[in-house]
Amino acid sequence: MMRGTVLVRPGTIELREVPRPRPDADGVVVRVRAALTCGTDLKAFLRGHPKFPMPTLFGHEFAGELAEVGREVRGLHAGDPIMAAPTAPCGTCYFCARAQENLCEQVMDTMVLGAYAEYVKLPGSVVRTNLYAKPQALPYAEAALLEPLACVLHGLDRIPIRPDDTVVLVGAGAIALLHLLVLRARGVERVVVVARNAARAAQATELGAAEVLGMSAEQARASVLELTQGRGADVVIECTGQVAVWELAPSLARRGGQVVLFGGCPTDSVVRFDTNRLHYDEVSVSSPFHLTPRAVRASYELLSSGAFSGAALIAAEYPLEQLGEALDRQRRGDGAKFAIVPGAR
């Protein structure tokens, strides 16, 4: 048996004694050393999620050491420190054949859920495609950023960004701050963050934002125009998942600029755009989803490079017993992410 956190129904989690998972022949079981809270988990906790049929174990950002290895697995051994993304594509469907593995027909069905537990089981597909040896020097909690960072890299992969671009990030949660860190690491000098929450605004400044606009996205338009000689930003990245912000984002971009709508909105949301901005002003809009194996590799390489640290995004560590408190702080915007460390006191 082991201890694992069960999402019983929206608003209710319970730490229970549950059977310790055994590996499939081609899979592994990981002893979780750190699992990170994430906006998706928070949404599932607060209002349910179509991909989280309850009751269910949950938590999908993790790193740990291999506890047990399936008999067909070669080259991996119990005790190895690892990091992995929670999904893997099938490799054979229409989308996989076109290198759009993020849209793979099976990618979300096989998602690993259950990282807020002492042990978590990974299927063979994840082991073969999206599992990496964790470098000794990389702390487990930072290694657990593999998945969210891969999602950010996947989105950035799809748009051209120059170091002299002005990039506006709307929002200052974990995803916005990860964008900020990556853009700074890529030499983009002028990243402007729109964040109403004062603590998050302060953190964005600390992490290298050139300007922080402590106001709503609507109010920020005048400031963004002022900062860009009236043109608008070269790139606008929406990281809130709010319909009103999606609709507003193109108005912050310059003619020929790029808009990335990163935050997923509630199911059945409908947005409206001014066609003149998209057509005559040629503002491009993309809305990247999830990650590809290529992005996971890039994320692994960045985290392992020693030149990049996501430590500042992890506000505090909690033991399994206090996941509820961590989610509550995240809901209040009191920290971008929290590390859940089984066995920590």
In the complex, the residues that contact Zn ion under the rule CB under 5 A are: 38, 40, 61, 89-90, 93, 96, 104
Nearest Cα neighbor of 89 from 157, 154, 21 is 154
Determine the angle formed by the axes of helices 146-157 and 293-304, rounding to 10 degrees. Answer: 120
Rounded to whole angstroms, the Cα distance separating 96 from 287 reads 19
Rounded to whole angstroms, the Cα distance separating 253 from 146 reads 30
Give whichever of 20 and 329 is closer to Zn ion, judged by the CB atom: 329
Which residue stretches of the chain are H helix? 39-47, 94-97, 124-129, 140-143, 146-157, 174-185, 198-206, 217-227, 243-248, 275-278, 293-304, 323-331
- Taking the complex as a whole, how short is the minimal distance between the CB of residue 343 and Zn ion, in angstroms? 22
Sheet strands side by side (includes 56-57): 12-18, 2-9, 56-57
Give whichever of 41 and 165 is closer to Zn ion, judged by the CB atom: 41
Give whichever of 104 and 298 is closer to Zn ion, judged by the CB atom: 104
Rounded to whole angstroms, the Cα distance separating 76 from 278 reads 50
- Taking the complex as a whole, how short is the minimal distance between the CB of residue 73 and Zn ion, in angstroms? 21
Give whichever of 43 and 297 is closer to Zn ion, judged by the CB atom: 43
- Taking the complex as a whole, how short is the minimal distance between the CB of residue 85 and Zn ion, in angstroms? 10
186's tokens: 């890529």
- Taking the complex as a whole, how short is the minimal distance between the CB of residue 122 and Zn ion, in angstroms? 16
How many CB atoms are closer than 10 A to CB 320?
20
Rounded to whole angstroms, the Cα distance separating 68 from 127 reads 13
Task: Write the DSSP symbol of residue 46.
Answer: H
- Taking the complex as a whole, how short is the minimal distance between the CB of residue 47 and Zn ion, in angstroms? 16
Give whichever of 87 and 251 is closer to Zn ion, judged by the CB atom: 87
- Identify any residues that bridge with 121 across adjacent strands, giving them in sequence order: 29
- Taking the complex as a whole, how short is the minimal distance between the CB of residue 36 and Zn ion, in angstroms? 7
- Taking the complex as a whole, how short is the minimal distance between the CB of residue 156 and Zn ion, in angstroms? 17
Give whichever of 18 and 103 is closer to Zn ion, judged by the CB atom: 103
Task: State the burial class of residue 77 (Cβ atoms within 10 Å of its Cβ: 0-12, 13-18, 19+).
Answer: exposed
Give whichever of 91 and 208 is closer to Zn ion, judged by the CB atom: 91
| Angle of CA points 202, 205, 211, to nearest 5° | 115
- Taking the complex as a whole, how short is the minimal distance between the CB of residue 147 and Zn ion, in angstroms? 6
Give whichever of 7 and 233 is closer to Zn ion, judged by the CB atom: 7
